[in-house]
């Protein structure tokens, strides 16, 4: 990993630290105040809006990242053509969900749900952060997110200090995504104004997103759905309290993924530029090893300190989240390796393969969740998530391009001998 990639990775990590810090400390206060049942209702709504958010992206995140990495000018045109499209799709798809929660829950719960809807809307529209990541300029994202989070946290702390109505917590939930979006939008418009010559290509790029993104959106939507299936099926088979306990475990178990995702994202432009399959495997196997090392350290930390973290942040009501937390940490670890494999498949334009594969993964996840939740409840939901990730990473990926992912995993398991062998052949 060269210095520029490492430098960018560190900035991306700092950005995600800030985002996760805000997410955990704002939502943990809400969880402590309202308890597992109402918090479960909020978590249920959050899962639905996050799925809609992925749908609204229409697979364009990967398309934009890949395009900007290879051709900056073309990537800018693609960004300009997709922002309003994403917002329109998100709002239309969210209307039935908002109506459902308005009819079923009281106004207090609906207020929290609506704030989550707005927060996810701004996350959905913020494609400008992708440009900075692709250009290895994540420092800009970090500084912007830091300003938004600082304001949100100040408001969050003043609400209990001034003994205001807890409904005011909706404000920092929205501001956490609204402020960074507005700042990045202003900066982007200043540097890359939507000029007439860009507008002439708008329809072509919209069609490109709809055609190429159509195959990606199925796979990305499946990726968004199956990690949340445990929460959604728990809500139907168990109770809102079970959803709340599982949601806390899932939040903490995924809170550290930003470290590895930063390394992955910063390394991808270099991997995408490789023309030889041998060099691609070598670089990616090295990245896999880094992810394995970091993940195992984090899992050990949660094993030793997880119970204390749960009690400190969420209180004794959420002590049952500990075992699911450990299982879901392993699930996050496997999912990160799956992200790398998926990007390699994207490099070789395996969009259709990913679509078909993720449909299979979603079906498998539904079956496993129904079986294990029925047997073990909350812990069963965590086990089902882990098993789904393992099958997705291994068996289902090995059918692509004459087993390139299988060769990648072999190279990861015995990196140095295969490294020398492949280098000698090259």
Among candidate residues 229, 240, 251, 244, the one with its CA nearest the CA of residue 106: 240
How many beta carbons lie within 10 A of that of residue 354, not counting itself? 24
**Among residues 64, 68, 108, 104, which one has the least CA distance to residue 85?**
64
Q: Two tokens at 272?
A: 């995408």
The reported pLDDT for the residue numbered 415 is 63
Q: What is the pLDDT of residues 406-415, one digit of tens each?
A: 988 888 887 6
Query: Alpha-carbon torsion 410, 256, 383, 401, what sign?
Result: negative
pLDDT averaged over every residue in the chain:
79
Predicted confidence at residue 350, as pLDDT, reads 82
Q: What is the DSSP letter of 106?
A: -
**Of 65-79, 145-159, 379-393, the least confident:** 65-79
Q: Give the lowest-confidence range in 251-255, 348-352, 382-386.
A: 348-352
Evaluate if residue 67 carries a pLDDT over 50. Answer: yes
Distance CA 15, CA 154 (A): 18
- Residues 156 and 172 sit within 8 Å (Cβ to Cβ): yes
Closest CA to 382 of 327, 302, 310: 327
Q: What percent of the chain has pLDDT over 70?
A: 74
* Region of poorest pLDDT, from 57-71, 257-271, 344-358: 57-71
The residue behind tokens 């329109």 is 88
Q: Which residue has the higher pLDDT, 322 or 423?
A: 322
Whether 196 shows a pLDDT value over 50: the answer reads no
* Whether the predicted pLDDT of 402 surpasses 70: yes
CA distance 64 to 79: 7
- Residue 419 is predicted with a pLDDT of 47
Give the pLDDT mean for 246-273. 82
Decide: helix, strand or coil at residue 348.
coil
Span 198-220, mean pLDDT? 63
- Per-residue pLDDT at 269: 74
Least confident of 93-97, 137-141, 317-321: 137-141
The whole-model pTM stands at: 0.70
DSSP 396: T
Which of the residue ranges 109-123, 125-139, 225-239, 411-425 would you say has the lowest mean pLDDT? Answer: 411-425
For residues 231 and 54, the answer to whether their CB atoms sit within 8 Å is: no
Higher pLDDT among residues 265 and 69, named by residue? 265
Residue 386 has pLDDT above 60, yes or no: yes
35-54 confidence digits (pLDDT tens): 787 778 777 888 888 888 88
Share of residues in the chain with pLDDT > 90 (%): 18
SS3 content of the chain, % helix, strand, coil (to 5): 90, 0, 10
């Amino acid at each position: 990993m060269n210095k520029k990639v490492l430098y960018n990775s560190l900035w991306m990590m700092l950005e995600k630290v800030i985002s996760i810090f805000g997410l955990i400390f704002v939502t943990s206060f809400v969880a402590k105040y309202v308890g597992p049942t109402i918090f479960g209702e909020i978590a249920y709504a959050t899962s639905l809006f996050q799925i809609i958010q992925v749908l609204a992206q229409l697979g364009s995140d990967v398309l934009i990242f890949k395009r900007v990495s290879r051709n900056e000018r073309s990537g800018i045109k693609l960004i300009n053509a997709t922002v309003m499209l994403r917002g329109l799709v998100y709002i239309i798809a969210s209307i039935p969900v908002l109506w459902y929660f308005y009819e079923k829950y009281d106004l207090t719960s609906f207020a929290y749900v609506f704030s989550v809807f707005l927060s996810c809307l701004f996350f959905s529209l913020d494609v400008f952060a992708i440009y900075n990541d692709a250009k290895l300029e994540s420092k800009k994202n970090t500084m912007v997110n830091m300003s938004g989070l600082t304001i949100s946290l100040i408001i969050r702390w003043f609400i209990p200090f001034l003994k205001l109505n807890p409904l005011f917590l909706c404000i920092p939930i929205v501001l956490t995504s609204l402020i960074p979006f507005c700042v990045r939008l202003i900066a982007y418009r200043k540097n890359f104004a939507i000029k007439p010559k860009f507008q002439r290509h708008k329809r072509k790029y919209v069609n490109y997103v709809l055609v190429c993104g159509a195959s990606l959106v199925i796979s990305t939507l499946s990726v968004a759905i199956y990690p949340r299936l445990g929460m959604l099926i728990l809500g139907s088979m168990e109770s809102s309290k079970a959803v709340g306990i599982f949601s806390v475990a899932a939040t903490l178990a995924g809170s550290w993924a930003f470290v590895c995702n930063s390394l992955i994202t910063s390394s991808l432009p270099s991997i995408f530029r490789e023309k030889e399959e041998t060099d691609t495997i070598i670089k990616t196997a090295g990245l896999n090893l880094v992810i394995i090392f970091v993940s195992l350290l984090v899992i050990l930390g949660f094993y030793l300190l997880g119970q204390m973290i749960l009690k400190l942040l969420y209180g004794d009501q959420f002590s049952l989240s500990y075992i699911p937390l450990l299982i879901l940490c392993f699930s996050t670890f496997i999912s990160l390796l799956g992200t790398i494999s998926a990007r390699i498949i994207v490099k070789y334009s395996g969009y259709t393969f990913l679509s078909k594969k993720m449909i299979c993964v979603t079906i498998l996840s539904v079956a496993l969740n129904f079986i294990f939740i029925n047997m073990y409840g909350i812990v069963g939901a965590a086990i089902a998530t882990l098993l789904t990730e393992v099958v997705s990473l291994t068996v289902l990926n090995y059918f692509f391009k004459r087993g390139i992912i299988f060769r990648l995993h072999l190279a990861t398991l015995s990196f140095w001998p295969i490294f020398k062998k492949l280098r000698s052949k090259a």
